[in-house]
Structure 1
Amino acid sequence: MAISAYILLNLITPKLQDTLAAIRAIDEVKSCDGVTGPYDAVAFVEAEDINALGKVVTTKISSVEAVAKTLTCVAVK
């Protein structure tokens, strides 16, 4: 069953647009925008299941150099 989630991102970079572009380039990321507030960006991700979602966050999104911290919020439909 497919799963969707919002990933809240803390970034450590003055080059926000470059970092957002790198995150948007990940296949499972459907959108990623800079935001105001305690987080710097929010990505919307779709994955096959919870295990695939975990791998996207831990191996793909977290590997983007400027990503310091993530918080995953699974969408409830």
Structure 2
Amino acid sequence: MASAYVLIEAAPKKARAACGKIAKLSGVCSAHLVTGPYYIIALGEGKDPAAIGKLVMARIQAVDGVGRTITCVVV
């Protein structure tokens, strides 16, 4: 099992809605609005790092309002 924190930039007026949608995605354990350079931090899990990559690229980045993401794999 692989885990990763995903730091997510979002459009300021869409961050709350985007966070709610991200939290409901399969593979996302939790998603929170935060202060700082990123609006959302999500914790994702998958069978391996490639599955995490698919989660981020195919599902998280497809959410309306999501901009740039940075994925930090837990070691």
User: TM-score of the superposition, structure 1-length normalised?
Assistant: 0.91
Q: CA deviation at 1:18?
A: 1.4
Across the two proteins, how many residue pairs are aligned to each other? 75
In the alignment, structure 2 segments of 5+ residues that lack a partner are none
* 1:1-77 → structure 2 map (5 Å cutoff): 2-76=1-75
RMSD between aligned alpha carbons? 1.0
Identity %: 37
| Structure with a larger share of its residues in helix | 2
Question: When the two structures are superposed, what TM-score results if normalisation uses the length of structure 2?
Answer: 0.93
What's the CA shift string for 1:24-54, capped at 9, x where partnerless?
Answer: 1101000000111111110000011111111
Moved over 2 A (4+): none
Q: Structure 1: which 5+ runs fail to align?
A: none
Name which one, 1 or 2, has greater alpha-carbon Rg.
1
Measured in 2, the distance between the counterparts of 1:17 and 1:9 equals 12
SS of the residue corresponding to residue 26 of structure 2 reads coil
- Provide the rounded CA distance (Å) in 2 between the counterparts of 1:65 and 1:13: 12
